[in-house]
């Protein structure tokens, strides 16, 4: 495992949630200095700590510790969120998703002109 890469991912996900290291450390029950060391790749986090980190950041553990590309990461998140939905909710989400895609495509066409 590349601990520096894992730490960089953790930092990026933490910052996306607009959390300071202090807030994040408090929420997952570790020290601020430990968070900093993990993010810099200077310390190895236990699986339990990584699970806590992933849970708080809403990022599956495999995404934190594997070298997934951004598209794969998005697919993991999408699948994780979708599996919690009922079939009817999934159908509704698909309709909304298709509407959003239509709007994005229309905007792209307008930008070309």
* Tens digit of each residue's pLDDT (9 = 90 or more) over 45-91: 999 999 999 999 998 888 888 776 667 767 777 888 888 889 999 89
CB 64 within 8 A of CB 54: yes
Among 47, 71, 79, 75, smallest CA distance to 61 is for 47
The answer to whether the predicted template modeling score (pTM) of the entire model surpasses 0.85 is no
Question: Roughly how many angstroms between the first and final C-alpha of the chain, as a whole number?
Answer: 48
Average pLDDT of every residue of the chain: 88
Residue 22 has pLDDT above 80, yes or no: yes
Among 95, 94, 1, smallest CA distance to 47 is for 1
What confidence tier does 98 reach under pLDDT thresholds 50, 70, 90?
Answer: very high
Residue 2 has pLDDT above 80, yes or no: yes
């Amino acid at each position: 495992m590349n601990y520096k890469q894992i730490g960089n991912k953790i930092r990026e996900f933490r910052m996306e949630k607009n959390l300071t290291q202090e807030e994040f450390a408090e929420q997952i029950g570790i020290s601020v200095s430990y968070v900093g060391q993990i993010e810099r790749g200077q310390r190895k986090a236990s699986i339990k700590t990584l699970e806590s980190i992933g849970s708080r950041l809403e990022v599956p553990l495999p995404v934190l510790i594997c070298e997934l590309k951004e598209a794969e990461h998005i697919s993991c998140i999408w699948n994780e969120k979708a599996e919690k939905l009922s079939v009817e909710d999934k159908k509704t989400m698909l309709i909304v998703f298709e509407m959003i895609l239509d709007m994005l495509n229309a905007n792209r066409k307008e930008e070309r002109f």
